[in-house]
Copies of this chain bind each other. A is one copy, B any other.
Amino acid sequence: MKGCPLQAMLSSDKDCNQKLGVAKDILDVLNGKWKMEVILLLLQYDKRRFKDLQAEIPGGVSAKVLSSVLKDLEEHHIVKRGLDDVTVEYELTEYGRSMREVISNLVELGLAHRKEVIGK
């Protein structure tokens, strides 16, 4: 045993498992069948209505699931829900827009992973 292998930490009194909890926080934000799809669409369109999002997501989401996804993303400050006149429009917050780099990094890591696990 050599202590927590996660350097890059500033506060030293927290233990490794708490750090894992922090890491899982951000995984939860992106995890799920449709979260990244929604974020990507909102990166493309800036503002989008519920029905449009539902129609444009490849594969097809039920209204119930899309609703819960949007609610979840809103709670995590990724999207903003706004009543524009009579309709409802969703858009990314500034923080939400910062997810583009995060997802890009994941794509990079994913490509490396496919290379490592060839043929899988």
A61 located at the interface, meaning its Cβ lies under 8 Å from any Cβ of chain B in the complex: no
Within 8 A of B (CB), among A63-120: 75-77, 95, 100, 102-111, 113-114, 116-117, 120
With contacts A16-B40, A44-B3 taken as known, whether A77 is within 8 angstroms of B116 at the C-beta atoms is yes
Interface size on A, residues (CB 8 A): 49
With contacts A20-B36, A113-B25, A113-B26 taken as known, whether A6 is within 8 angstroms of B45 at the C-beta atoms is no
A8 to chain B, nearest CB (A): 5
Chain A positions near chain B (C-beta within 8 angstroms): 1-9, 16-17, 19-20, 22-27, 29-31, 36-37, 40, 43-45, 58, 75-77, 95, 100, 102-111, 113-114, 116-117, 120
